[in-house]
Chain A
Amino acid sequence: MTQLILEQALNGLQFGLMLFLLAAGLTLVFGIMDMINLAHGSLYMVGAYLAAAVTQASGSFMVGIGTAMLVTALLGALLEVSLLRRLYARDHLAQVLATFALILIANEVVRMIWGAQPMLLNAPEALSGPVSLAGFFYPAYRLLLIGVGVLVAGLLYLLVSHTRLGMWVRAGASNREMTEALGVNVRLLFTAVFAAGAALCALAGAMLGPLLAVQVGMGESILILAFVVIVIGGIGSIRGALVGSLMVGLVDTLGRAALPSLLREFLSPEVASSLGPALASILIYVLMAAILFWRPEGLFPARG
């Protein structure tokens, strides 16, 4: 039983950390630039496709991930300079409409280049099996995801909390006008933050590709979860994004695992087996609603 709980906790951790990679970029863009970017999920998709294509061509997963991050960051910067910059001054509705259009465009472009069929991206052979962990087996590749997630979270923490650049970012998130008045080049900062967010998207897409599927529309479903995460964590806060991601990851995984058998204790098996999965899939939204009720600004609001 403890083994089951431990394994499920690891699964939740892995899922949460991957969500964090997406949510970190999204929360900064939302927080600093006050910009709702629905196309964030499309960058995730583009990153995964690039990783799959380069991996197939070069035969190396590492090269695939590296190239995907670099190219997606460039694409992100280009997008910011050419289009999104013009939307900052507009209201949220205009931003939602414009970036939703970007989703549709990105999906069709990817379909035109790579086709409608999911693309094959396999984990390196060495990581495709299980490893023995204190008496039970756990997939090696999921352990790698946990490692990468922890590493990125640590680096981001150092960058945001202990460097001058990070200070500007935090200052920008908490009060944009004041930061500008103090002489920080916020325009350049925005582009840099956007590119970094795009690179993290590509990393998440490439790492999750072998586990899920590299396909058109893969960004939308995970984007919804990323929005849930930043609403829980507080808009603009990296720490909030991390805590929110882990909460969503754990609640979703443990809910899916435990709810059906829990319900069976006091409901008939038929009712439990149809109610359980349905309830498990809305659990994270219940969590979000509860947090919004008690902390309308999220757990760690960036704007003071």
Chain B
Amino acid sequence: MRPTKCLFALATLLLLGTSVHAAEASRTSVKVGFLSTLSGPGAGLGIDIRDGFNLAVKQLNGKLGGLPAEVIVVDDQQKPEVAQQVAEKFMKKDKVDFMTGIVFSNIMLAVGQPVFDNKTFYISANAGPSQYAGEQCNPYFFNVAWQNDNLHEAVGKYVMDKGFKNVVLVAPNYPGGKDAMVGFKRFYKGKVSEEIYTKLGQLDYAAELAQIRSLKPDAVFFFLPGGMGINFVKQFVAAGLSSDTQLFAPGFSADEDVIKAVGAPMLGMFNSSHWAHDMENAENKRFVADFQKEYGRLPSLYASQGYDAAFLIDGAVRDVKGRLDDKEALRKALEAKHFKSVRGDFKFNRNHYPVQNYYLRVIGRDAQGRITNKTMGTVFTNHADAYVAQCKMK
């Protein structure tokens, strides 16, 4: 009896040992769960992130960190409950190594905690909610784009420096919209005559535009990503407001997706970004040229973020030599950022958000007569977000 028991225990131990060993061994492929908004008014953003990510994987010959990459792309329909189900499937069924792609902060906040609890690394190629930068910062969350407030802070500083005195702010009523207003006001100290919150996904701005007209501001700052911004600018011009009021926006509302849909009324609009397609560095030139060749359009900042997210994963997987289950080593490799970004250099802060430069861009015509963004100058150098102090992570 006793020897049998011993044997059984030994066998169990051995089996356990092998399974532990198997888990530590290097992997033969990398699985990425790409969850993004690919339909509805926010679809343009998700599609650009996806295309940027896919382009990077293609340039790397279908591999990430030298291992064959499998990218599972699913649409979240801009609905938190749909996103939660997909994330669940990614973790339980597909057992993905990384997740990325989410555009909207409310969806990010709905999905985040279960993913972190599952010890799956989430590489955000867009959503940068203040919560995850501050108190709820997490070892498994990395943001390769920006913290939500940052681009708005840059516009706020520029509007302040240019001496505008009376500003109206417009943003959707969701966490990203609130971050936008807070960010703008952190550096703009003049008068804000009204803060207008709209429904997320709203497309008709007649009531808001009438309100703006009656307030007579000298500048309007709006943060309305995707289709919302397209409609806002079109209706703003149609209402005849553009003659006395200067429009300002973060780069989200003045990038290629919006310019393509609105056209000439966008000329002369100032906006902020951490990246621009005319930046002079080898990585960016290759990215912009290849993107145009592959998709026949100029990349937007979203595409650049998706592209960088793929290269961040690539560098980290290569650094740990495919041992993806050594979470500690993988986290260190991600923090060390083993790749060159198309935006030039940046580094991760201790809350895993970037410390980087922010630039001012203006929409004009380029040498070929296309309407597009041109970089004007630097607003912030090595700018960190305002929440890192609340992050307890080392």
Residues of A within 8 A of B (CB): 1, 3-4, 7-8, 11, 14-15, 111, 116-118, 120, 123, 128-130, 136-142, 211-213, 215-217, 253-254, 256-257, 260-261, 269, 273-274, 276-278, 281
Any A CB within 8 A of the CB of B17: no
Q: How far is the CB of A54 from chain B (nearest CB, A)?
A: 19
* Nearest-neighbor residue (CB-CB) of A141 within chain B: B238
How far apart are the CA atoms of A140 and B198 in the complex, in Å?
24
User: Contacts A274-B197, A276-B197 given: A212-B173 contact, CB under 8 Å?
Assistant: no
Which residues of chain B have C-beta atoms less than 8 A from A118's C-beta? 41, 43-44, 227
Which residues of chain B have C-beta atoms less than 8 A from A217's C-beta? 39-40
A130 touches B44 (CB 8 A): no
Which residues of chain B have C-beta atoms less than 8 A from A213's C-beta? 41, 203, 227, 230-231
Any A CB within 8 A of the CB of B208: yes
User: Contacts A4-B213, A276-B197 given: A138-B207 contact, CB under 8 Å?
Assistant: no
A4 touches B203 (CB 8 A): no
User: Contacts A118-B43, A274-B197 given: A256-B240 contact, CB under 8 Å?
Assistant: no
Q: How far is the CB of B337 from chain A (nearest CB, A)?
A: 33
Q: Which of A3, A216, A269, A277 contacts B39 (CB under 8 A)?
A: A216
How far apart are the CA atoms of A216 and B44 in the complex, in Å?
13
Can you name 29 A-B residue pairings with CB atoms under 8 Å?
A: A4-B210, A4-B211, A7-B210, A7-B213, A8-B210, A15-B206, A117-B43, A120-B261, A123-B238, A128-B238, A130-B239, A130-B240, A137-B213, A137-B241, A139-B238, A139-B240, A140-B238, A212-B231, A216-B39, A217-B39, A253-B206, A253-B207, A256-B207, A256-B208, A257-B210, A260-B197, A273-B195, A277-B197, A278-B173
Q: Which of B44, B195, B198, B213 contacts A117 (CB under 8 A)?
A: B44
Q: Which of A11, A117, A212, A273 contacts B207 (CB under 8 A)?
A: A11
Shortest 8 CB-CB contacts between residues of A and residues of B: A130-B240, A137-B240, A11-B206, A4-B214, A139-B238, A7-B210, A212-B203, A257-B207
A1 touches B206 (CB 8 A): no
Any A CB within 8 A of the CB of B349: no
Most chain-B Cβ atoms within 10 A of its Cβ — which of A142, A211, A253?
A211
How far apart are the CA atoms of A3 and B239 in the complex, in Å?
14
Any A CB within 8 A of the CB of B127: no
Any A CB within 8 A of the CB of B93: no
How far apart are the CA atoms of A276 and B44 in the complex, in Å?
29
How far apart are the CA atoms of A137 and B209 in the complex, in Å?
11
Which residues of chain A have C-beta atoms less than 8 A from B207's C-beta? 8, 11, 253-254, 256-257
B:19-45 near A, CB below 8 Å: 38-41, 43-44
Which residues of chain B have C-beta atoms less than 8 A from A111's C-beta? 39
A15 touches B173 (CB 8 A): no
How far apart are the CA atoms of A138 and B39 in the complex, in Å?
32
Q: How far is the CB of A248 from chain B (nearest CB, A)?
A: 13
* Nearest-neighbor residue (CB-CB) of B257 within chain A: A117
B227 touches A14 (CB 8 A): no
Q: How far is the CB of B265 from chain A (nearest CB, A)?
A: 9
User: Contacts A129-B240, A141-B238, A281-B199 given: A11-B40 contact, CB under 8 Å?
Assistant: no
Which residues of chain A have C-beta atoms less than 8 A from B208's C-beta? 256-257
Residues of B within 8 A of A (CB): 38-41, 43-44, 47, 75, 173, 194-199, 203-204, 206-208, 210-211, 213-214, 227, 230-231, 235, 237-241, 261
How far apart are the CA atoms of A130 and B196 in the complex, in Å?
23
Which residues of chain A have C-beta atoms less than 8 A from B240's C-beta? 129-130, 137, 139
B43 touches A116 (CB 8 A): yes
Most chain-A Cβ atoms within 10 A of its Cβ — which of B44, B196, B238?
B238
Q: How far is the CB of B262 from chain A (nearest CB, A)?
A: 10
How far apart are the CA atoms of A253 and B197 in the complex, in Å?
14
B44 touches A277 (CB 8 A): no
A142 touches B206 (CB 8 A): yes
A116 touches B39 (CB 8 A): yes
* Nearest-neighbor residue (CB-CB) of B206 within chain A: A11
B239 touches A139 (CB 8 A): yes
B210 touches A273 (CB 8 A): no
* Nearest-neighbor residue (CB-CB) of A139 within chain B: B238
Q: How far is the CB of B178 from chain A (nearest CB, A)?
A: 8
Which residues of chain A have C-beta atoms less than 8 A from B47's C-beta? 116-117
How far apart are the CA atoms of A1 and B210 in the complex, in Å?
11
Q: How far is the CB of B319 from chain A (nearest CB, A)?
A: 36
Given A4-B211, A211-B204, A217-B39, 7 new contacts (CB under 8 A)? A117-B44, A120-B261, A129-B237, A130-B238, A130-B239, A137-B240, A213-B231
Q: How far is the CB of A208 from chain B (nearest CB, A)?
A: 9
How far apart are the CA atoms of A217 and B78 in the complex, in Å?
12
Which residues of chain B have C-beta atoms less than 8 A from A260's C-beta? 196-197
B231 touches A273 (CB 8 A): no
Q: Which of A4, A140, A211, A261 contacts B235 (CB under 8 A)?
A: A211
Q: How far is the CB of B201 from chain A (nearest CB, A)?
A: 8
How far apart are the CA atoms of A212 and B238 in the complex, in Å?
13
B213 touches A129 (CB 8 A): no
A215 touches B227 (CB 8 A): yes
Which residues of chain B have C-beta atoms less than 8 A from A117's C-beta? 43-44, 47
Which residues of chain B have C-beta atoms less than 8 A from A277's C-beta? 173, 197-199
Q: How far is the CB of B267 from chain A (nearest CB, A)?
A: 15
Q: How far is the CB of A77 from chain B (nearest CB, A)?
A: 30
A136 touches B213 (CB 8 A): yes
* Nearest-neighbor residue (CB-CB) of B227 within chain A: A213
Q: How far is the CB of A222 from chain B (nearest CB, A)?
A: 10
A274 touches B261 (CB 8 A): no
B197 touches A129 (CB 8 A): no
* Nearest-neighbor residue (CB-CB) of B210 within chain A: A7
* Nearest-neighbor residue (CB-CB) of B75 within chain A: A116
Most chain-A Cβ atoms within 10 A of its Cβ — which of B173, B210, B227, B231?
B210
Q: How far is the CB of A18 from chain B (nearest CB, A)?
A: 10
Which residues of chain A have C-beta atoms less than 8 A from B203's C-beta? 211-213
* Nearest-neighbor residue (CB-CB) of A116 within chain B: B39
Which residues of chain B have C-beta atoms less than 8 A from A129's C-beta? 237-238, 240
How far apart are the CA atoms of A212 and B261 in the complex, in Å?
12
Which residues of chain A have C-beta atoms less than 8 A from B196's C-beta? 260
How far apart are the CA atoms of A298 and B198 in the complex, in Å?
30
Which residues of chain B have C-beta atoms less than 8 A from A7's C-beta? 210, 213
